Structure 1
Amino acid sequence: MLKIRLTKATFLITLTLSALLFLGGCIHHLKTDGQAPQVEGIFWQPDLATTPPSGNWDLLGVSTFVPQWSVVQSKSWFDHDIGLEKWDKNINLKQLQQKVWAQHILLGLAGEYDEKLARSNVLKLAEESKKIIENTKSIPLKGYYFPVEADPSWICVNDLAKAIRTLPKPLWVSIYSAEQAPEHLDFWLKSWLPSHTGVFFQDGVGVGTRTPQQARVVLEDLQKEFGKDNIVIVLEAFRPVKGGKFRSAYPWEIVQQLKAYEGQKVYIFDGPHYMNRMTVYAVALWYKLKY
């Protein structure tokens, strides 16, 4: 059994390295004059299967960890006492910060698994988030992430703006668009986004909406209006399969995204579910050879 496993692992490693070298050309031609993408952070959607989170994402340069929610369905994923019931598995933020890839935590606040429910209760979630913030003041944090996602189809997006204004900074939110080349996305965002709020733009590659190159165009249009430091791209490290489900992106697929995002700060969604150790090793090797 062990021999079979080793054979399979060797095959996968060989296949991955061959694909990566094919993407970049021969090794002596692999180096580029382009500015490397800065893989700064990893998202995590807490669930029982991936608690506690573990990985080797620091090999990609990751030092910021973003737990998408502290509280979901009014239950806490962390062991801090905030007056709410806890999930069967929970983690300690101070212990989490001891991980190399989680030296800095951008703490996700209160959210819901269901997007429609989250949007309809956005002001209530902001109130719950205030309690989370109050009870984590003793922990040094990079900032907060309010996990109610927005796109141009949300008619009542001003409710999100109201919620954001009640929360302390630095604060980040995320946006997406179901259109391949959305027109006037910058005007839409400017119409409601409170000042001094950071924005994560989901690249849409993982759900099949657009290519990495098309995502780069949308990103740069937003950055022209809001600044490069205020709009950061989220690399979706998954791909759609039949039945409405998703698989982990292959290393060479992630490489294509990173190549398109040269010179940009990048956060990956999400590490514990879609970026296993073998994938990280492969992408890190390509990165080292490339830059």
Structure 2
Amino acid sequence: MSRRAFLRGSAAGVLALGLAGCQSPPLVQGVAWQLDNTHANAHGDWNRLGVTDLLLQWTAVDNTAYVAGTQIPVAPRLPDWNRIALEPWAQRVLVGLAGRFNEADARANAELLVEQSLELVRAAPHLNIEGWYFPVEVDPSWQDARSIAPLLARLPRPLWISVYDRGNIGGAALAQWLSSWLPSDVGVLLQDGVGVYAREPRIARTYADALSAKFGRERVRVIAEAFRVAPGSAFRSATAQELKLQLDAYRGYRTYLFDGPHYVPPQLVDSLLQ
């Protein structure tokens, strides 16, 4: 190699290193997708925000499966899983298992949902799966929550569940309650409660910190509600200003926007990047 060529190569290498060093951290690492018949094929540019991780809320809901190969009736339209596997925002996927839209119904049928979930694991789409999510949500008002602990033992690992605090008992109390029954190898997805005005982002951060102190940082992730309750009990997308407050508060935690297809359109992505 000539000296001139060597110098050109060296300069290019220095420039590349410099550009890499100037890259800002991602605004958010993950996006959630709550599958339904209207949103059965997610499209988005959430990777522009730095998103590489996908949380599937479920792959079957209310006895309707979004994958083939199980005994559960199949949805009218299935996602294009081959395309999803190539999306830059789906490089690591937590695959949601069997759930119900109605929370009380899900809790009452947790054992059946575990049986369906085991079918879904065997029929899981070909994605870069980093773990599994059992979408029966828990909170301290559920007096029989500990009954799902032996059911969780039947599901594959790595395994995650989600938790919220309807009664505002505080992060430390929530962590203590959860640690009294949750298996030690199950991860926790904290629903921040900001979208339903249960708390401000700075308070939600204290919840995440309390859970992290109890379970360890690697077992705790945050679900940032990218919606707001609107008049008439409807929901709207959060504004960029509202959402930035959440994302800034949760820095240091792997965070998922809930959810991308419903509430984070390209216009909101543009606004977040301005």
TM-score band, normalised by shorter chain: 0.7 to 0.9
Q: Is the 8 A contact 2:188 2:219 kept in 1?
A: yes
Q: Bigger shift: 91-100 or 219-228? A: 91-100
Q: Bigger shift: 41-50 or 272-281? A: 41-50
Q: Deviations over 1:79-113 (max 9, x none)?
A: x2212211111114333111111122211100001
**Aligned counterpart, 1:83:** 71
Q: Is the 8 A contact 1:43 1:68 kept in 2?
A: yes
Alignment of 1:135-150 (within 5 A): 135-136=123-124, 139-150=127-138
Structure 2 vs 1, CA of residues 154 and 37 (structure 1 numbering), >3 Å: closer, same or farther?
Answer: farther
**Aligned counterpart, 1:4:** none
| Greater relative contact order (Cα < 8 A, sep 6+) | 1
**Aligned counterpart, 1:116:** 104
**Aligned counterpart, 2:18:** none
- Largest Rg, 1 or 2: 2
CA distance in 2, matches of 1:178, 1:240: 15
**Aligned counterpart, 2:95:** 107
Q: Is the 8 A contact 1:46 1:69 kept in 2?
A: yes
Q: Is the 8 A contact 2:64 2:72 kept in 1?
A: yes
TM score, norm. by length of structure 1: 0.82
SS at match of 1:49: coil
**Aligned counterpart, 2:165:** 177
**Aligned counterpart, 1:166:** 154
CA distance in 1, matches of 2:150, 2:213: 25
Offset, 1:232: 0.9
Q: Bigger shift: 164-173 or 181-190? A: 181-190
1:211 aligns with 2:200: yes
Q: Deviations over 1:18-43 (max 9, x none)?
A: xxxxxxxxxxxxxxxxx957622111
- Structure 1's unaligned 5+ residue stretches are 1-34, 286-291
List structure 1 runs of 4+ shifted beyond 3 angstroms: 35-38, 137-140
CA distance in 1, matches of 2:146, 2:261: 32
Structure 2 vs 1, CA of residues 37 and 265 (structure 1 numbering), >3 Å: closer, same or farther?
Answer: farther
Offset, 1:179: 3.1
Q: Is the 8 A contact 1:181 1:218 kept in 2?
A: no
SS at match of 1:184: helix
Structure 2 vs 1, CA of residues 228 and 268 (structure 1 numbering), >3 Å: closer, same or farther?
Answer: same
Q: Is the 8 A contact 1:123 1:159 kept in 2?
A: no
Structure 2 vs 1, CA of residues 114 and 246 (structure 1 numbering), >3 Å: closer, same or farther?
Answer: same
**Aligned counterpart, 1:228:** 217
Q: Is the 8 A contact 1:219 1:231 kept in 2?
A: yes
SS at match of 2:218: coil
Q: Is the 8 A contact 2:222 2:255 kept in 1?
A: yes
Cα root mean square deviation, aligned: 1.7
Structure 2 vs 1, CA of residues 204 and 37 (structure 1 numbering), >3 Å: closer, same or farther?
Answer: farther
SS at match of 2:75: strand
